[in-house]
Amino acid sequence: MRKSLLVLLLWAPLATALLPQPGQRLEHATQQAIQHFLLHNRILDTARDLDNAPYIVAADAGRVLGANGERVYARGVLDPTQPQYGIFRRGKAYTDPDTHELLGINADDIGTARFVTAGDLTTLALQRVTQEVRPGDRLLRAEPPIELTTLKPAPFIQGHIIDVPKGVTQIGALDAVTLNKGRRDGLVEGQLLSVIKAGANVRDTLTGAPTQLPDERAGTLLVFRTYEKLSYGLVLSASRALAVMDRFETPQQTQ
């Protein structure tokens, strides 16, 4: 951990110097990292969006476990012109840390399946699985690819990092994070945000008075997918390890 943190601290000044500014094009490697993340992660605005989706009834020979290439059978309205569907299961519910409003539902990635034939039960062939496919798992259309050609300025917005989908506790460069703001708040895909770490509470050794240290800018995020109340952001640079509940805001130069 100490070695990896040292590498991050040494790399951060260079990354900051090379960081694209609003109006500049994104690097191909950043686009690839975003596309890979979106293949395995999805947010739904309400639980109904998942509960009303087509679902898996059974796999070949009635087995629960589906393997790559195996046929599975689904019930619900599936479009034959949609060649591939994602298989998802309900995950954690996101609530706002300040208002406790329900913001959305994380759909846990199970795999992907290819449409084969329609009928009372639709037949699909599994193409990729991350864990066992179970009856009741839901099928969702693939989301459109991200086309972030330039970075965009936007009005002042602030909020919090509320989750790291891959489950790490300390966040660094090229990690994707979940933000508690979305389209309704004015966030746009391609927007840059500053990450702010709150100053620690310490005690003045001479007076004994509790003292709040100043907040510090600790990194930069790129918003790459927005939902109604939530968004995904990619950490482009970090001068120190970031964490869930760190604050983000629009950089000063874009206000």
Region 25-29 average pLDDT: 64
**What pLDDT was estimated at residue 9?**
35
- Taking CB atoms within 8 Å and a gap of at least 24, the contacts of 195-204 are 195/161, 195/219, 195/220, 195/221, 195/235, 195/238, 195/242, 195/246, 195/247, 195/248, 196/246, 196/247, 196/248, 196/249, 197/240, 197/242, 197/246, 197/247, 198/246, 198/247
pLDDT at 179 over 80: yes
Smallest CA-to-CA distance from 34 within 228, 162, 190, 187 is with 190
**What pLDDT was estimated at residue 65?**
61
Task: Name residue, tokens 């110097």.
Answer: 17
47 with 88: CB under 8 angstroms?
A: no
CA separation for the pair 62, 42 (Å, rounded)? 28
| Predicted confidence band of residue 251 (pLDDT cuts 50, 70, 90) | confident
Smallest CA-to-CA distance from 116 within 47, 155, 69, 152 is with 69
pLDDT at 66 over 70: no
Residue 184 has φ and ψ, to the nearest 5°, of -65, -25
CA separation for the pair 4, 40 (Å, rounded)? 25
Cα distances (Å, whole numbers) of residue 77 to 55, 80, 115, 141, 162? 10, 10, 12, 11, 34
| Percentage of the chain lying above the pLDDT 90 cut | 49
What does the pLDDT look like over 104-141, one tens digit per residue? 999 999 999 999 998 889 999 999 888 889 999 999 99
Region 9-31 average pLDDT: 50
209 with 8: CB under 8 angstroms?
A: no
**Which domains, from first to last, does the chain contain?**
2-26+148-254 (2.40.10.410), 48-141 (no CATH)
Of 74-88, 126-140, 163-177, 202-216, the one with minimum mean pLDDT is: 163-177
**What pLDDT was estimated at residue 241?**
87
pLDDT at 219 over 90: yes
CA separation for the pair 64, 200 (Å, rounded)? 50
DSSP state of 185: G
CA separation for the pair 240, 218 (Å, rounded)? 6
**What pLDDT was estimated at residue 201?**
86
Tokens representing 183? 């389209």
**What pLDDT was estimated at residue 150?**
62
Tokens representing 156? 């002042």
CA separation for the pair 7, 90 (Å, rounded)? 36
| Predicted confidence band of residue 1 (pLDDT cuts 50, 70, 90) | very low
The secondary structure element, H or E, covering residue 49 is helix 47-51
Smallest CA-to-CA distance from 246 within 156, 161, 158 is with 161
* Average pLDDT score, the chain: 83
pLDDT at 3 over 60: no
Of 16-30, 135-149, 194-208, the one with minimum mean pLDDT is: 16-30
55 with 139: CB under 8 angstroms?
A: yes
pTM score of the predicted model? 0.80
- Report which listed range, 12-21, 65-74, 80-89, is most confident: 80-89
CA separation for the pair 192, 157 (Å, rounded)? 11
